[in-house]
Chains A and B, each alone.
Chain A
Amino acid sequence: SQTIHQWPATLVQPVGSPLSLECTVEGTSNPNLYWYRQAAGRGLQLLFYSVGIGQISSEVPQNLSASRPQDRQFILSSKKLLLSDSGFYLCAWSVRSPLHFGNGTRLTVT
């Protein structure tokens, strides 16, 4: 069966520090991969998606970037965090449908 691992579960980072969140999927090949963010009390906003290695599409202009160095690995990064980057970050995968989410990373930028 397919599983998705996302870490860390929680993170507190100062403004201006770098960020790296990692997500890996097991049990499937060539999945579509996604990064979503959920601000407190808000809906899910799609940040990036990838349909293959090295292929990244950005949905909204922002302070973040994404990379897919391997088929089942998806990384979300920032060089300098802003206060507004705080939120619940969710990685997800799909092969056709539906989306399956990881457990999420709760990021607090102080």
Chain B
Amino acid sequence: GQNIDQPTEMTATEGAIVQINCTYQTSGFNGLFWYQQHAGEAPTFLSYNVLDGLEEKGRFSSFLSRSKGYSYLLLKELQMKDSASYLCAVHGSGNTGKLIFGQGTTLQVKP
């Protein structure tokens, strides 16, 4: 079967650093994506990892270990506007581009 796990909820303080973990078991692997989704809105693309290691993009970084089926999204210098759901998604086998999404992690940033 295919399974993507992430914590349901997290809370962090403004200005702090938070790490959101994602583990996956899929038939085939062609990349892992992180999306941000504010309440009532569509998801927006944050990052993409296909090789092991860290990808940095401003305050956001994403890490991948293919051998462990593990990724994390690191958010630095948290701002109130970072309160949102963060979705981990895997592109499995084939060339259809379809993504399998985890349930999402709702992050609440407190002052």
Are B48 and A98 in touch, CB under 8 angstroms?
A: yes
Min CB–CB distance A51 → chain B (angstroms): 6
Chain B: interface residue total (CB-CB under 8 A): 21
When chains A and B are docked, how far (Å) is the Cα of A90 from the Cα of B101?
13
When chains A and B are docked, how far (Å) is the Cα of A37 from the Cα of B20?
23
Are A43 and B104 in touch, CB under 8 angstroms?
A: yes
Which range contains the number of A residues in contact with the other chain? 20 to 34
Min CB–CB distance A25 → chain B (angstroms): 13
When chains A and B are docked, how far (Å) is the Cα of A76 from the Cα of B91?
23
- List of B residues within 8 angstroms of A96 by Cβ: 97
Are A49 and B91 in touch, CB under 8 angstroms?
A: no
- List of A residues within 8 angstroms of B101 by Cβ: 36, 43-45
Say whether, besides A34-B98, A103-B42, A44 and B87 are in contact (CB < 8 Å): yes
Are A101 and B98 in touch, CB under 8 angstroms?
A: no
Interface string of B83-111 (1 = CB under 8 A from A): 00001010100001111111110000000
A99 at the A/B interface (Cβ < 8 Å)? yes
Partner of A99 from B45, B103, B104 at Cβ < 8 Å = B45
- List of B residues within 8 angstroms of A101 by Cβ: 42-44
- List of A residues within 8 angstroms of B63 by Cβ: none
In the complex formed, the residue of A with least CB distance to B106 is: A41
In the complex formed, the residue of A with least CB distance to B46 is: A98
Say whether, besides A43-B87, A44-B43, A103-B41, A97 and B96 are in contact (CB < 8 Å): no
Min CB–CB distance A48 → chain B (angstroms): 10
Q: List 16 A-B contacts (CB under 8 A).
A: A32-B96, A32-B97, A32-B98, A43-B103, A44-B101, A49-B96, A49-B98, A97-B48, A97-B91, A98-B99, A99-B97, A99-B99, A103-B41, A103-B42, A104-B42, A106-B40
Knowing that A43-B101, A104-B42 touch, tell me 7 more A-B residue pairs with CB under 8 angstroms: A43-B104, A44-B101, A46-B100, A97-B31, A98-B33, A103-B41, A104-B41
